[in-house]
Amino acid sequence: EIVLTQSPATLSLSPGERVTLSCRASQSVSSFLAWYQQKPGQPPRLLMYDASNRATGIPARFSGSGSGTDFTLTISSLEPEDFAVYYCQHRYNRPNTFGQGTKLGIK
Amino acid sequence: EVQLVESGGGLVQPGRSLRLSCAASGFTFLDYGMHWVRQAPGKGLEWVSGISWNSDSIEYADSVKGRFTISRDNARNSLYLQMNSLRAEDTALYYCAKGNSYSMSSFCDYWGQGTLVTVSS
């Protein structure tokens, strides 16, 4: 099973700041990695797929990069609605494991 | 508009069974792989099972292999999860999710609101 490790576990930032979240895989997943955003009481929302493709309706301030074992999700300028938990997931093989999540809070 | 509506959750005793259903609408169901993902209270996401568009490819997480069975009925636009020999650690909110391709090797681009399964005596 491929283990995805996200860092940091938590962070606190202010609106307008730039943030980069990390996801590291225990073995290569090629570019088969996605990012999701989850707010309290809501299901997850797909942000990025296959490392760098924005999902439908996702604002351009979200971008993804990486391949192999190291991936990042960048939010160029935080909006109030971006404070949430972010998960990465791979689809390289089964099981399609998720990372443990990064909680992004307001400072 | 894509809609996924889960049902069938509830309180069940350890060792018993439960069948979850997911009614899909707003897209051509038979064109896409589907997934079940769960989330224990206050915890992260766990992929449970996936099924390809034609049911030819099916996979499970090790934690549920041999106990859970995923299936789909393309004529009824429905996804199912038969859960047997339930354990306390299966307690979670179970999400039905649409894959973003025909394959089981796909990401989840639409999600239902989930159905809560509580396993307790």
- Extract the tokens encoding B73: 């009925």
> What is the average pLDDT value for chain A, to the nearest integer?
97
> Taking residues A16-20, what's their average pLDDT?
98
pLDDT confidence of B52, banded at 50, 70, 90? very high
Closest C-alpha among B13, B114, B61 to residue A98: B61
The helix/strand/coil state of B11 is strand
- How close does chain A come to B62, measured CA to CA in Å? 8
How far apart are the C-alpha atoms of A49 and B91, rounded to whole Å? 29
pLDDT at B104: 86
Task: Identify the contact set of chain A against chain B, taking CB-CB distances under 8 A.
Answer: 1, 32, 34, 36, 38, 43-46, 49, 55-56, 87, 89, 91, 94-101
How far apart are the C-alpha atoms of B78 and B67, rounded to whole Å? 20
CA neighbours closer than 13 Å in the CB half-sphere of residue A85: 17
* CA A51 to each of CA A57, B35, B36, B56, B118: distance values in angstroms, whole numbers, following the listed order: 17, 20, 22, 27, 35
How far apart are the C-alpha atoms of B81 and B36, rounded to whole Å? 8
Task: State percent of chain B over pLDDT 90.
Answer: 98
Tens of pLDDT, residues A48-92: 999 999 999 999 999 999 999 999 999 999 999 999 999 999 999
Tens of pLDDT, residues B66-115: 999 999 999 999 999 999 999 999 999 999 999 999 998 899 999 999 99
pLDDT at A75: 98
DSSP notation for B46-70: EEEEEE-TTSS-EEE-TTTTTTEEE
How far apart are the C-alpha atoms of B15 and B33, rounded to whole Å? 29
Which chain B positions have a beta carbon within 8 Å of A71's beta carbon? none
Task: State percent of chain A over pLDDT 70.
Answer: 100
pLDDT at B67: 98
The helix/strand/coil state of B29 is helix
> Taking residues B36-41, what's their average pLDDT?
98
Task: State percent of chain A over pLDDT 90.
Answer: 99
Which residue does chain A place closest to B65, by CA atoms? A95
How far apart are the C-alpha atoms of A51 and A74, rounded to whole Å? 11
